[in-house]
C-alpha cells in the first residue's frame, strides 16, 4: 500500500511504460502494475542496498515479467528503445532531481511525461524543465504529517515563466490549494525567524537583504 505522497504521484502516471528513478523497494511500480495503471515498469536504483531490496520485492510479488530492476545512475538506466511513457522521480531534493534530468535526459530518446516529487526547493526543477522543452501541466502540494511535498507534472511544450512562477509554481499560483498556502505560511514564519536572528546577531548585510526579499515575495503571494 502506497503512502499519501506516492499515491498522489500514481494519479499522474499515464501510458503503458513507466520508469521510476530511485525506486527504493519498487513500491510505486508494483502498485502501478497491480492496479493496471501501466503494463510494464523499469526501476532504476544507484545504491546497492535499495537496488537489492527492489529486486527482492519484484520477485516476492511475482512480477519479474512486468517489472525490471536496473542498477545505474539516474536516467542513464534508460534506453530510447524502452519507449517510456512516464518518468517518476520521487523523494529527493529539488537540485538533485534537476541534476538527474539535466545530465541524463538524452537517454530517454523522447519526451515522456515527467512526474517529479521534490522534498525541497523546486526552483531548479522548473528552470531545467524549461531548458529541456517542457511545460508544467499540473502541480500540487501534499501534506503528510508535518511535511509538505510538491509534485510537478510536465509534458513536452513551450513555456515562458516569470521568476515568481519558477519559484512558487505557475499552476500552484493559480490553484492556490490549502496545502500550498499553509506551506507558504510556514515558510514565511521560518524566514521571519531567520531575519530576526540575523538582525540581532549578524553583520552580513547581503544575507539580511536576501532574507528580506524572500519574506516580501512570500507576503506578496499570500496577500493576493
Choice between 2 and 133, residue whose per-residue pLDDT is larger = 133
Asked if pLDDT for residue 63 goes beyond 80, the answer is yes
What does the pLDDT look like over 9-61, one tens digit per residue?
Answer: 999 999 999 999 998 789 999 999 999 999 999 999 999 999 999 999 999 99
Largest Cα–Cα separation, the chain? 62
The pLDDT score that the predictor gives to residue 27 is 93
Q: At what angle do helices 48-60 and 27-34 cross, to 10 degrees?
A: 20
Cα–Cα dist 171/196, whole Å? 32
Given CATH 3.30.565.10, say whether it is the number of domain 4-171: no
Amino acid at each position: 500500500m502506497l503512502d499519501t505522497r506516492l499515491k498522489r504521484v500514481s494519479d499522474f502516471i499515464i501510458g503503458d511504460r513507466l520508469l521510476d528513478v530511485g525506486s527504493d523497494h519498487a513500491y510505486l511500480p508494483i502498485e502501478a502494475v497491480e492496479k493496471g495503471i501501466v503494463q510494464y515498469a523499469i526501476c532504476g536504483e544507484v545504491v546497492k542496498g535499495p537496488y537489492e531490496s527492489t529486486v527482492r520485492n519484484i520477485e516476492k510479488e511475482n512480477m519479474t515479467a512486468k517489472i525490471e530492476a536496473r542498477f545505474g545512475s539516474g536516467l542513464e538506466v534508460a534506453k530510447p528503445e524502452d519507449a517510456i511513457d512516464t518518468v517518476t522521480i520521487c523523494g529527493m531534493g529539488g537540485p538533485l532531481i534537476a541534476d538527474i534530468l539535466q545530465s541524463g535526459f538524452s537517454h530517454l530518446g523522447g519526451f515522456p511525461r515527467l512526474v517529479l516529487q521534490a522534498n525541497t526547493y523546486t526552483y531548479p526543477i522548473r528552470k531545467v524543465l524549461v531548458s529541456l522543452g517542457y511545460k508544467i501541466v499540473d502541480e500540487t502540494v501534499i501534506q503528510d504529517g508535518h511535511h509538505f511535498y510538491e509534485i510537478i507534472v510536465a509534458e513536452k511544450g513551450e513555456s515562458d515563466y516569470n521568476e515568481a512562477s519558477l519559484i512558487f509554481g505557475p499552476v500552484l499560483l493559480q490553484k492556490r490549494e490549502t496545502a500550498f498556502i499553509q506551506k507558504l505560511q510556514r515558510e514565511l514564519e521560518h524566514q521571519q525567524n531567520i531575519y530576526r536572528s540575523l538582525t540581532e546577531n549578524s553583520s552580513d548585510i547581503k544575507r539580511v537583504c536576501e532574507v528580506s526579499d524572500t519574506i516580501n515575495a512570500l507576503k506578496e503571494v499570500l496577500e493576493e
